[in-house]
């Protein structure tokens, strides 16, 4: 069975690239692999400085989606990313690994590949889980982003550590 590269791993790649920005082509390859992008898609294509610059632009555009103040703005920004980075969806079985969807041409540079994964993965996440399931951490002083993959759709923190810190702060405020 072929796993969907445009699923949760793609949106977590965006979070990873915001939280720990890659400053070299090798770091970009590492971040991609940490987030589930197959090594052959990254290492075999030789990540370049141009790829790194293209990913920075895509991540900046993605952050605008994260920070959108209302649903329509978020949708408009997301649609702009999709128009810029994706192609008509198509079925492929390029490596004999089973039929699956691609939203990009084959053999694109790594920068374009990452931008396609992030934009398509985010759009599928927002459409499938909910348009509000992306944001910034609710803890004062923390600006990290999160993608809410929870069952309940109530995530508001970037990590359990921030959620715990904020709960302790609220408890202390009530008891003092």
- Element of type H or E holding 44: none
Q: Where are the domains of the chain?
A: 8-130
- Model pLDDT for residues 119-168, shown as the tens digit of each residue: 999 999 999 999 999 999 999 999 999 999 999 999 999 999 999 998 99
The C-alpha atoms of residue 55 and residue 21 are separated, in whole angstroms, by: 10
The C-alpha atoms of residue 23 and residue 32 are separated, in whole angstroms, by: 13
Buried b (16+ CB within 10 A) or exposed e, 54-91: bbbebbebbeebbebeeeeebbebbeebeeebbeeeee
Fold of the CATH domain 8-130: Jann2411-like fold (1.10.3300)
Give the predicted TM-score (pTM) of the model.
Answer: 0.89
Residue 2 has pLDDT above 50, yes or no: no
Tokens of 70: 């209302």
The C-alpha atoms of residue 116 and residue 10 are separated, in whole angstroms, by: 9
């Amino acid at each position: 069975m072929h796993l969907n590269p445009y699923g949760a791993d793609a949106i977590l790649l965006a979070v990873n690239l915001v939280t720990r920005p890659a400053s070299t082509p090798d770091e970009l390859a590492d971040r991609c692999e940490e987030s589930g992008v197959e090594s052959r898609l990254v290492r075999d294509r030789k990540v370049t400085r141009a790829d790194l610059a293209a990913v920075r632009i895509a991540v900046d555009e993605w952050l605008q989606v994260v920070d959108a103040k209302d649903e329509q703005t978020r949708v408009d920004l997301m649609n702009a990313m999709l128009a810029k980075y994706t192609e008509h969806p198509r079925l492929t079985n390029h490596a004999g690994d089973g039929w699956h969807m691609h939203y990009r041409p084959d053999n694109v540079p790594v920068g374009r590949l990452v931008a396609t994964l992030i934009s398509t993965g985010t759009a599928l996440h927002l459409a499938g889980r909910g348009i509000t399931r992306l944001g910034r951490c609710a803890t004062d002083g923390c600006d990290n982003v999160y993608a809410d993959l929870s069952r309940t759709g109530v995530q508001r923190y970037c990590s359990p550590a921030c959620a715990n810190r904020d709960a302790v702060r609220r408890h202390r405020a009530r008891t003092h």
